[in-house]
Homo-oligomer: A and B are copies of this chain.
C-alpha cells in the first residue's frame, strides 16, 4: 500500500540476475541506500534489525529460510525468537525489498531495487538457486479469464522450476 504504481512492461529484463557474477559490494550498498531513501520518503522506520535483515539477504544473494536469517540476526546481536525474523521479513516484503519464494518457503532480496515490478523466479530443482526475472505480463490470457469470472487480480506469483546452468553442466557433462 505504500508504493507508488509504476507499471511498465519490458525493462532491461532479458538477463535474469542470479546466475551471473557481478560487483556484489556495490549491489549491496546500492540496494541498502535505495531502501533507506524509500523509507525516508515514505516516513517508514528503517530500523537496525530491518536493515540488518535486508543486508544479510543482499549479501547472501540467495533464497534463505526465515530460521537461517534468524540465526544470522541473532549472531549480530538481535533477538533469538522467530518473530524477530518474521517481523523484519514482513516489513521488507510489504515494501518490496525482498520477495518470498513460495515454493521454497524462503526469502530473497529483490534484484531490482526501487522499481515497482511483478517478479518471476527461476528456481533450480537440484540446488535451489533462485534468479529473479521480470514477469511477463500474465494480464493477457489469465487476466481475461479472471475478468470473465469476476475475479480481480492484485498480484501474481510466477515461479518456474527447472535446472540452472551450473547443475545442467554438472549432470550433463
Contact = CB atoms under 8 A, between A and B. Distances in A.
29 contacts: A1-B145, A14-B144, A14-B145, A15-B148, A16-B146, A16-B149, A19-B149, A102-B102, A102-B159, A103-B157, A122-B145, A122-B146, A122-B151, A125-B154, A131-B149, A133-B145, A136-B138, A136-B142, A138-B138, A138-B158, A146-B162, A150-B168, A151-B163, A151-B165, A152-B163, A153-B161, A156-B160, A157-B161, A158-B158
A135 interface: yes
A27 interface: no
Contacts of A134: 141, 145
Kindly report how many copies of this chain are found in the complex they form together: 2
B102 A145 contact: no
Nearest to A19: B149
Nearest to A151: B122
A64 B73 CA distance: 34
B144 A155 contact: no
Nearest to A144: B14
Contacts of A155: 160-162
Nearest to A103: B102
B159 A153 contact: no
Interface in A40-74: none
A146 to B, nearest CB: 6
Given A16-B149, A120-B138, A157-B159, 13 more contacts: A14-B148, A19-B151, A102-B157, A122-B149, A122-B153, A131-B149, A134-B141, A134-B145, A136-B138, A142-B160, A150-B165, A157-B158, A157-B161
